[in-house]
Structure 1
Amino acid sequence: MPLNKIICISVLFYLLLFSVRSYAEINTVSEAINKAGQQRMLSQRVVATYCQLGLDIQAKKSKGQLRRAIKKFDENLLELNEYKSNEKVNKQLQIVADAWQPVKKIALAPVHKDKAEELRALAENVLSESHKMVVILQDESNLKEIALVNIAGRQRMLSQRLSSLYMLQSWGFSRAEYASDYILSIDEFSVALSELNKSTVNTAEIKSMLKAAKKQFAMLRKSLQQKNGVYIPLMVKMSADKLLLIMDEITHKYEKLLAG
Structure 2
Amino acid sequence: MVSLLLLCVTGPTYAANISTAAEVVNAAVEQRTLIQVMLKNYVLSGLGVRSRKANQALAEAITRFDLQQQQLNAAVTDIQVLHQLKQMEQSWVLLQRQYKQKPDRARLVELYTMNENTLKQGTLLLEGMVVGNLSKGAQMLELMGQHELLCQRLSALYGMMAWGMRAEVEPAYRETYQALGDNLIKLEAIPYTTPSINQGLKKIGQQLERIRKTADASKDAFVPGLVDRSVVRMVEQANQLQAEYLQLAGSLDSTN
| Normalised TM-score (structure 2) | 0.88
SS in 2 for 1:258: helix
Q: Say yes or no: does 1:187 pair with 2:178.
A: yes
In the TM superposition, what are the counterparts of 1:2-41 in structure 2 within 5 Å?
13=12, 24-41=16-33
Whether the 8 Å contact between 1:32 and 1:137 is mirrored in structure 2 is: no
Report what 1:254 is aligned to: 245
1:209 to 200, 211, 219: 200
Amino acid at match of 1:34: N
CA distance in 2, matches of 1:128, 1:245: 24
Match of 1:166 among 158, 168, 174: 158
SS of residue matched to 1:230: coil
Looking at structure 1, the residues matched to 46 and 134 of structure 2 have their Cα atoms a distance apart, in angstroms, of 45
Task: Provide the residue aligned with 2:190 in structure 1.
Answer: 199
| Residue of structure 1 in register with 2:218 after alignment | 227
Deviation at residue 252 of structure 1 after TM alignment: 2.3
Residue in structure 1 matching 2:231, options 237, 240, 245 = 240
Deviation track 1:10-37 (CA, whole Å, cap 9, x = no partner) reads 9xx58xx7xxxx7x33222222222112
Residue 129 (structure 2) aligns with: 137
The 2-side partners of 1:113 and 1:143 are apart by 41
Deviates more, 1:110-119 or 1:150-159: 110-119
TM-score, normalization by structure 1: 0.87
Q: Check conservation: 1:47, 1:116, Cα contact below 8 A.
A: no
CA apart distance, 1:61: 0.7
Point out the more displaced range, 102-111 or 143-152.
143-152
Asked whether the 8 Å contact 1:39–1:127 carries over to 2, the reply is no
Alpha-carbon distance in 2 for matches of 1:242, 1:118: 30
Question: 2:5 — aligned with what?
Answer: none
Unaligned regions of 5+ residues in structure 1, if any? 1-5
Query: What's the % identity of the aligned pairs?
Result: 23
1:84 corresponding residue in structure 2:
76
Code of the residue aligned with 1:114 in structure 2: it is A
Letter in 1 for 2:149: M
How many residues align? The count is 244
Question: Whose RCO is larger (CA < 8 A, sep 6+)?
Answer: 2
Q: Is contact 2:21–2:135 with CA below 8 Å preserved after alignment?
A: no
Q: Distance in 1 between matches of 2:103 and 2:218?
A: 28
Matching of residues 140-151 of structure 1 within 5 Å: 140-141=132-133, 146-151=138-143
Amino acid at match of 2:174: I
Deviation at 1:115, TM superposition (A): 1.5
Map Cα deviations across residues 74-93 of structure 1 (whole Å, 9 max, x no partner): 11101111111221111100
| Correspondence for 2:103 among 105, 111, 131 | 111
Out of 109-118 and 232-241, give the one that drifted further. 109-118
Q: Which residue of 2 aligns with 1:3?
A: none
Change (3 A) 1:86 1:200: closer
Instruction: Between 92-101 and 241-250, report the one with greater CA deviation.
Output: 241-250
Q: Residue 49 and residue 200 in structure 1: after superposition, are their counterparts in 2 closer, same or farther (change >3 A)?
A: same
Kindly state the Cα deviation for residue 180 of structure 1 after the two structures are TM-superposed: 2.0
Please give the root-mean-square deviation of Cα atoms over the aligned residues, in Å.
2.2
**Contact 1:48/1:160 (<8 A) preserved:** yes
Aligned-residue offset at 1:142: 7.2
Asked if structure 2 preserves the Cα contact closer than 8 Å seen for 1:29 and 1:141, the reply is: no
Alignment partner of 2:103: what SS? coil
Aligned counterparts of 2:116 and 2:166: Cα–Cα separation in 1? 17
The 3-state SS of whatever aligns with 1:26 is coil
Partner secondary structure for residue 171 of structure 1: helix
